[in-house]
Structure formats: C-alpha cells, structure tokens
Amino acid sequence: MRHRKPWTWRGCGLVLMWGLAACSPGVEIVLEPGVVARIDSTSISAAEMRDFVVQMPQSLRLQGQDDPVRKRYLRSLLGKSLLLLEAKERGLDTAQVVQTKAMQYWRQHLVDTYRQIALVPNVQVSEEEIRAYFADSGLDRKRQMAGILVEEDSTAKQIYEQLEAGGDFAQLAAEYTIDEQSASQGGVLGFIDLEQARRLQIPDELFRSLPNGQLSPILPMGTRYQIVRFLQDQPVPLEEKRQQIRNMLYERKRLEQEREEIASLIRKLDVQLVPEGLEFLLDKAALHTRVRLTHLADEEVGQPLFTYKGGQISLGDYLNALWGDMRALSGWGVRDSAEVVDTARELVLTPVLLAEAAQRAGLEEMADGQQRWQEIRTEFMIKQLRQEEVIDQSEASLEEARDFYEDNEDLFREPAQYIVVEVLVETEAEAVGLMRAIAQGATLGTLAQKHTIRQGMQEEDGLMHLGEYERLTLPRLFKAVKAADLNKITGPVHVEGGYSVFKVLNRQGGEVSPFFQVEKKARALVRGEKREQLFEELVNDLLDKYKERIAVSDSALAAALPDTFLQRHAREAPAKGDG
C-alpha cells in the first residue's frame, strides 16, 4: 500500500461520489452475457448494478445520466470486492482477531436460529389466557385519582390527621400539594391505569382494592410523600390492552421455555462446575472487588470454570461475558459461589449451550448456514481492514480540533430562536399588494388577521416563534428570517407554502459556543472527515493496485444503466433558493 497523503481540510465527498479510475481499458472488453464487471472470479451483474442504484438512499444518488455517472456507481459497487481482495492478501481471513469476532457473531446467529426453529413454535398464547390476565391484573379499568404530594413526612402526617378529622380533601390539596397541575383541581390528576399507578409508586394491591373515596396510607414517592384516594372507576376495553398483554405473556412463556431447554441441555451435556476454577475466581475476587481479565495471567485465562460434553467454559469466557454487562461495575457476578453459578447460567451457559444444541441439530451444516458463515467472515475481514487503515489512523489532535472549530464556527453556534410577525399568502402578486398596504400605514398584525394562510396564525395576529423545529420543517422561511434585519419589513420571500412578508421582532441565541464546551464535538467531526478521506484514498489505492485484475464492459454497463434509468433514479435537485 502506497504512503497516504497527509490529511488536509479539503471537501471530502463519499466514496461513491468519486470517478472510476483505471477500471476500463481503451479497448472494449466483452464479458459473459449479463455481466458488467469482474474482479478475479467475482462478477457484478447488470441486475446487481440496477438494484444497487434503486436501493440507494435518495440523498446519495447522483445527478446526470452519462458515462461518468455510471462509472461512479460502478466504482462504489466494486469497493466491497476490492476491500475483500485486499483483506485476503493481508491474511486477515486467518487473523485471530477476525476469527474470534466472526465466531462470536456466528455463535449468536446459531443461537437465534435455534430459538426460532426449536423454541418459538412451542410458545402459544391463547385468547382465554389474554382475557384471564386482563381481568386478574387490574388492567381492565382506570381509576380517577386525587392526591396530595408534599416534601416532608411530618407535613404528610399533619394533613392526614386533618383528613381523618373530616378535613376537606380538595381544600387541603389546594393549600398543600406541590403538584401545580392538580392543586387548582382539588388534587384531581385524572384517570390512571395500573401501569401509570406504578409510575406514581402506588402499590398494585392498593390500586386494585382501595375503595372509592377512602384514603390511602401515607405513601413514599421518591424523597416525597403522598396521600391519594380514588373517586370513580372507568372500564377499559380489552382491545386497548390486547397486544400489550399478548406480548407480555408471549415473552414470559418464551423465557420459561428457554429455561426448561437450558435445564435439559445441562443434563444432556453433563455440565459440571469445576471446583478449582470457582475457588480460583473467588480468590481473585477477594483481592479485586471487580475482577477483570487483566487480573489473570495468560495461563489462568484458559482455566476451566465449567465443563460439558464436547467443550468447556473458561475463566476468560466467563469474565468476557461478565464485563459485557453494566452490573459488573458494582462487583456483581463474583461475590460468592451461588452468584457465580446464577450469573454464568444467565450470561454464558445459555448462549453456549444453545449454540451447542444448534450445532448438534446440524444447523451450521445446512446450505444457508454455510453461506451465512462465509458472509459473516467476509464482513469481519472487511471491518478489520477498515479498522487498521481508516479508524486507527483517524485520531484527532487538539490542534486539529481547534483549527476545525475556527474554520467552521457555524457548526458550533447555539440554536437560534426568533420571534416574527408574518403574513403568508399564496401568490407573489398578493405579497406585493401587502407591501403596498404596509407602505400606506397598515400593520402586519392587522393584515395577518385577514390574509395569512398559515394555519392558526390569524388568531395570533401572525405572531410566531421559530426555533430548531422550524429550522427543519420550514428551512426556506428560517433561512430568510436568519438573514433579515431586526424590526425591518422583509418580503416578498418565496417560502414553504407560498410567499411571506415578515418582520423579525426578537432574535436570541446563535452565539458560537466556547471551544472548551464543544471540544468533544469538534474532535468527533474531525475524526469523521478523516475517516471519510482515508477510506476514499484506500479505495483509490486498491483500484490502482488491482487494476490488472479488474475487467469492465462499458457497453454492458451502459445497457445496465441506460440514460432513461439514471434520469428516473437521479437525486432530486435542491429547490431553487434553498442555497
């Protein structure tokens, strides 16, 4: 691979926006019928070429319908084959890091396939089960709730005593509750279902059984305290909850089915805990609250923790799985022998044993299984090549991040917000008429009441707020407002939905954030641009390196992507005035 150019601040387009270089010799090459290009024994057919363009996101499609456009599309499609060719040349197909990652992914694929074939068909949820759960769970009704929420336990006790002595709930709620929404309604929050009650930390049993009108005991709600009562009930149709209940019962049954399968596999495969491995792990945990793989010597990593017919689960396997779970940060998974066994069953035994069952069922020997394995290996070979040539080379220094920040200040501005008064009409002629009326003394607010077609703005005298949402949904108007002078009539401006005449009353935000606040963002953007440029250069280098092994039929390419096809699937041009 030739030496890469130093990274520069030039525009970096996507790889598929570059021309195809060194792929088509001067003499027309004739390939097999229906084949557009070939790299070694890998062919790209006309159908693949067309599907590639059709499935491409609209924003990445190219404009135009000539040979350069066709070759730029082909260059992008050739990219994956070139990367795979280079990965093989470097021996990444046998690299340990690729084999390990691919095998982990392959094992998970086997597990998922086995679940779908052997377990999922046995999980059924009946209509009777849905109806029974609906009736028994309390989901069949909503209850109108009133509450008093306070900060202190002593205040709650004082209020409770007054209520028991006959105090008026609504009046006490208005006086004491810190929930502003319900204070003006006598503490009434509205109708809630069981799930909403749980979010309010109301116990299930209390929601189900507390009679209407009766006070609850004082209930904790985080660091606060509440007293609630229910006023009336409202039935809930089963259809509202049917799918939710079905999904919940299905998942519960699926997990139970999987637990039974794992228990069966533990017996069939004679899974045994290795006492020496367990003791060693617990000894390490006594020294290190959070045992990591780095705490083990190389020869200790392979020490078995479990054995089974045909294999073992090592201490390294266990710790790798453990540290894929956030709970490990608290020392979970190594505190005692029972916890190790339970954790291993959840994180390691289940995937290992299901993968073993899948292999014994012959799933990996099936034709589509072998094809999927090759696809996975290919994917991880290409990922590793990209890791070495692009990601590992794209770190951003502080100086680069600061340079990018100074050269691209607009990317680091606080979101701008504007208050404007606007009249939107359908035609430019109408907008010109508005400008004449304003020159004769009419106000925008008065004109908006009579003429604006912007929904809801007649009642607001045309007064509207523009922020981030409007920047995305009304880009033309937002751009015009951003460029306009404060307190000056502007228009007519062609915007979304018609022609606008407006005045900016207030402008806030838009300042550039200080570098220390956005350094991480600047570094991330630098890395992104570096990766894009490095990837383009990698593909360029590969096109040059393997040009003698690439054959392209210009006539077949033109037939696969005729001008009419390219015109039909071209990227939509930006609307005039969008900038």
pLDDT of residue 578: 44
Give the N- to C-terminal CA distance of the chain in Å, as an integer.
40
Per-residue pLDDT tens digits of the chain, which is 579 residues long: 544 444 443 333 333 333 444 444 455 677 889 999 999 888 999 999 999 999 988 888 888 878 899 999 999 999 989 999 999 999 999 999 999 899 989 989 999 999 999 999 989 999 999 999 998 888 889 999 999 999 999 999 999 999 999 999 999 999 999 988 888 889 999 999 888 999 999 999 999 999 999 999 999 998 999 999 999 999 999 998 999 999 999 999 999 999 999 999 999 999 999 999 999 999 999 999 899 999 999 899 999 999 999 899 999 999 999 998 999 999 999 999 999 999 999 999 999 999 999 999 988 888 688 888 999 999 999 999 999 999 999 999 999 999 999 999 989 988 889 999 999 999 999 999 999 999 999 999 999 999 999 988 887 888 999 998 898 899 999 999 999 999 999 999 999 999 999 999 999 888 899 999 999 999 999 999 999 999 999 999 999 999 999 999 999 999 999 999 998 888 654 444 444
Give the residue from 175, 204, 235 where a domain finishes.
235
What is the H or E stretch that residue 147 is in? strand 141-150
C-alpha span between 16 and 532 (Å, rounded): 11
Q: Which residues of 293-305 are buried (b: 16+ CB within 10 A; e: fewer)?
A: eeebeeebeebbb
C-alpha span between 577 and 579 (Å, rounded): 5
C-alpha span between 11 and 78 (Å, rounded): 23
Contacts of 223 (CB under 8 A, 6+ apart): 151
C-alpha span between 528 and 18 (Å, rounded): 18
pLDDT of residue 27: 53
Contacts of 266 (CB under 8 A, 6+ apart): 349, 353
Closest residue by Cα to residue 80 from 322, 378, 522:
378
Q: Considering the domain boundaries, does residue 327 fall inside one?
A: no
C-alpha span between 328 and 334 (Å, rounded): 9
C-alpha span between 535 and 15 (Å, rounded): 7
Contacts of 61 (CB under 8 A, 6+ apart): 53, 569, 570, 571
Closest residue by Cα to residue 318 from 340, 296, 339, 294:
340
pLDDT of residue 63: 84
pTM score over 0.75: no
What CATH code is carried by the domain that includes residue 468? 3.10.50.40
Tell me the angle at which helices 428-439 and 444-451 cross, rounded to the nearest 10 degrees: 140
- Cβ-contact 489, 498 below 8 angstroms: no
The total number of residues shown for the chain amounts to: 579
Q: Considering the domain boundaries, does residue 328 fall inside one?
A: no
Q: Considering the domain boundaries, does residue 348 fall inside one?
A: no
* Amino acid identity for residue 342 in this structure: D
Q: Report CA-CA distances (Å) from 575 to 75, 449, 494, 579.
A: 28, 30, 11, 8
- Cβ-contact 342, 308 below 8 angstroms: no
Burial grade of 486 (CB within 10 A; 0-12, 13-18, 19 or more): exposed
Structure tokens at 577: 């005035």
**Domain extent for 184:** 141-235
pLDDT of residue 28: 62
C-alpha span between 318 and 404 (Å, rounded): 44
* Amino acid identity for residue 404 in this structure: F
| Chain position carrying tokens 């900038």 | 579
* Amino acid identity for residue 480 in this structure: A
pLDDT of residue 37: 93
Beta-strand ranges (E) seen in 246-395 are 272-273, 304-308, 311-314
Q: Considering the domain boundaries, does residue 487 fall inside one?
A: yes
Residue 422 three-state SS = strand
Beta-strand ranges (E) seen in 177-299 are 188-192, 219-221, 224-235, 272-273
Q: For 278-286, which contacts have Cβ atoms below 8 Å and span 24 or more sequence positions?
A: 278/305, 278/337, 278/340, 280/315, 281/305, 281/315, 281/318, 281/334, 281/340, 282/334, 282/336, 282/337, 282/340, 284/334, 285/331, 285/334, 285/335
Residue 279 three-state SS = helix
Q: Considering the domain boundaries, does residue 528 fall inside one?
A: no
pLDDT of residue 14: 35
pLDDT of residue 459: 79
Structure tokens at 380: 């991880």
Q: What is the DSSP string of 213-228?
A: TPPPPPEEETTEEEEE
| Chain position carrying tokens 């060194």 | 22
pLDDT of residue 21: 40
Structure tokens at 436: 């004449």
DSSP β-bridge partners for residue 149: 226
C-alpha atoms less than 13 angstroms from C-alpha of 151 in its C-beta half-sphere = 1
pLDDT of residue 166: 92
pLDDT of residue 2: 42
Q: Considering the domain boundaries, does residue 162 fall inside one?
A: yes
Structure tokens at 119: 């377990």
Give the residue from 213, 235, 257 where a domain finishes.
235
Q: How many domains does the chain have?
A: 2
Give the residue from 508, 534, 552 where a domain finishes.
508
Q: Considering the domain boundaries, does residue 20 fall inside one?
A: no
Q: Considering the domain boundaries, does residue 445 fall inside one?
A: yes
Q: Which residues of 223-254 are buried (b: 16+ CB within 10 A; e: fewer)?
A: ebbbbbbbeeeeebeeeebeeebbeebeeeeb
| Chain position carrying tokens 């929404």 | 181
C-alpha span between 447 and 501 (Å, rounded): 10
